[in-house]
Amino acid sequence: MDKGRTILDAALELFAEHGYSAVGVDRIGHRAGIPGPHIYRHFSGKDELLATLIDQAMDRLLSVTAVASPDPHEELELLVRGHVRFALGDRLLLSVYSQEARSLSDADRRRTRRRQRAYVDRWVQTLGRCYPGQAQLELEAAAHGAIGHIQSVIRWPRALVQTPGLERIIEQGVLHGLDTLAAAVPASSG
């Protein structure tokens, strides 16, 4: 395995276990099996490690949800399914992404927020195609609610996350919740 990957894996584990601010490069190096200062041969520092992990999380999420369908309901199902697979399959990475993005440098935080906004906008657009006539704020609230529900798996007990068929249970729960938009009374325009 490449040393940079080993360092990233060590940082991921330690950031998830102890939090970004509680972990130093010496500790990361120790976990990676190298002296801490050797990290600087691969990364400019702990900030770059975190930014790289956050980028990897976004890249994986965007990759597994890069779906399109002329049928908006099918596209929504594919978005939900991809996000659930990411959340359950990369819980550690999602945990660091969710808990530690606030520790990014200002420039990295702005870049990450732009990517997050574009992702949420994609959900909102898909929901708008599924449920035309709903107010923009309702669509945004539904998108954030669905994404938040899916990402809550990072706080679930490990035994629960190993439940057979859990992916499908979460997918159906999220899709059922989003279907309430169909029954919602559209906001008045006047």
Q: For residue 188, is pLDDT > 80?
A: no
- pLDDT tens-digit readout, 24-46: 999 999 999 999 899 999 999 99
Amino acid at position 109, single letter: R
Q: Which two tokens stand for residue 169?
A: 């249970």
Listing DSSP states for 21-42 in one string gives GG--HHHHHHHHTS-GGGGGGT
pLDDT recorded at residue 46? 95
- SS3 call for 156: coil
Q: Which domains does the chain have, with CATH numbers?
A: 1-43 (1.10.10.60), 46-183 (1.10.357.10)
pLDDT at 182 over 90: no
- Structure tokens given for 119: 């992702």
CA-to-CA separations, 32 to 13, 44, 150, in angstroms, rounded = 10, 16, 31
Over the stretch 104-158, which tens digit does the pLDDT of each residue have?
999 999 999 999 999 999 999 999 999 999 999 999 999 999 999 999 999 999 8
Predicted model pTM: 0.89
The burial class, CB within 10 Å (0-12 / 13-18 / 19+), for 35 is exposed
Contact (Cβ atoms closer than 8 angstroms) between residue 45 and residue 87:
no
Burial of 48 (0-12, 13-18, 19+ CB in 10 A): middle
State the pLDDT at residue 185. Answer: 53
At residue 187, does pLDDT exceed 60? Answer: no
Six-digit token pair at 173?
């729960």
Under a CB-based contact definition with an 8 Å cutoff, are residues 142 and 127 in contact? yes
62-83 pLDDT tens trace: 999 998 899 999 999 999 999 9
